[in-house]
Amino acid sequence: MHRHPLDKLNNLPYIGAVNAPFFMLKRLSTFAIVTALTASCVSASQVEKKDTEVQDKDVVSIPVEPYTPSWKCPGCNTNEQYVLEQLQEKTRITDRNALATILGNIKSESNFYPNICEGGARVPYRDCHRGGYGLIQWTSINRYNNLGKFCNKYGCDPSSLEGQTRYMINENIFQRYLPMFEGGGQTVRQYMVPAYYWLGWGIKGNREIYAYEYTNKLVLA
């Protein structure tokens, strides 16, 4: 029996009426998933943006101060370390040889004992009646009296390390020669010149030897 070519088409399953809902459901499901994912991404992006805005508002800018190294003396006693610290804090001296020269001269004068009277007696400021007194052995009557006046004005103890260090740094004669120490780039022997005019010693003694010893003790940290 001869069949019309169209009969083959008639035998194919009809998907329009029976299977259409299935294909439509798959398409709708896929669309829903894509829509949900897109919404989720947008929502997450918005939350992240809000969090960032909140964090930006809460952030407080903290200025960072640059660290400036200074000279330390690990092998020195507490009095030596205190004077070294104050010299760097209250002046612009940064040169190791300059600091070592000042320390060497103080050691020669008093061995860093603030309450020492010339000759070795350890007494309060008012009980040293002759010779030099204190860290740098203030000898002249004017310089000795000015130590007392300075501490009376600024509320410090003229017998103490703290009071004498403050006076020493602020004393007019030290301030006069301070620029020579702040200049830098000199040898210990060269710094001994302004040290002499500052202190006016009669005997040089071991000042320079002590100064060179300090150059080996000081470390930059």
Q: Would you list the DSSP string of 150-165?
A: HHHHHT--TTSHHHHH
Average pLDDT on 195-201 reads 95
Number of domains in the chain: 1
In the predicted model, what is the mean pLDDT of residues 128-151?
96
Given a cut of 70, whether residue 14 has pLDDT beyond it is no
Confidence band for 15, pLDDT divided at 50, 70 and 90: very low
Name which of 66, 47, 44, 63 is nearest 55 in CA terms.
47
Between 112 and 202, the more confident residue is 112
Torsion over CA: 123, 129, 130, 136 (sign): positive
> Both tokens of residue 170?
């602020």
In a domain, residue 152? The reply is yes
Cβ neighbours for 48, distance < 8 A, ≥ 6 positions apart? none
Going 132 to 178 to 215 to 196, the CA torsion angle's sign is negative
In a domain, 32, yes or no: no
| Beta-sheet strands, E only, within the chain | 71-72, 219-220
Task: Name residues whose C-beta falls within 8 Å of residue 5's C-beta, 6 or more positions apart in sequence.
Answer: none
- On the question of pLDDT at 13 being above 60, the answer is no
The band of 37, judged by pLDDT with boundaries at 50, 70 and 90, is very low
User: With 70 as the cut, is the pLDDT of residue 44 above it?
Assistant: no
* pLDDT, mean of residues 191-205: 94
pLDDT of amino acid 55:
57
Domain assignment of residue 201, yes or no:
yes
Question: Would residue 56 count as lying in a domain?
Answer: no
Asked whether residue 26 is domain-assigned, the answer is no
Query: Residue 189 pLDDT more than 60?
Result: yes
Q: Is residue 109 part of a domain?
A: yes
Residue 48 lies in a domain: no
Full residue range of the structural domain in which residue 106 is found: 71-220
Considering the entire predicted model, what is its pTM? 0.72
- Residue 27 falls within a domain, yes or no? no
Among the residue ranges 60-64, 68-72, 180-184, 195-199, the one predicted with the least confidence is 60-64
220 phi and psi angles, rounded to 5 deg: -85, 125
Tell whether the model's pLDDT for residue 23 goes beyond 50: no
* pLDDT-wise least confident of 8-22, 141-155, 163-177, 195-209: 8-22
CATH of the domain at 143: 1.10.530.10
One-letter identity of residue 50 = K
> Nearest Cα to 105, choosing from 139, 135, 140?
135
- Name the β-bridge partners of 138: 133
**Amino acid letter at 172?**
N
Q: Is 17 left (phi over 0), alpha (psi -120 to 50) or beta?
A: alpha
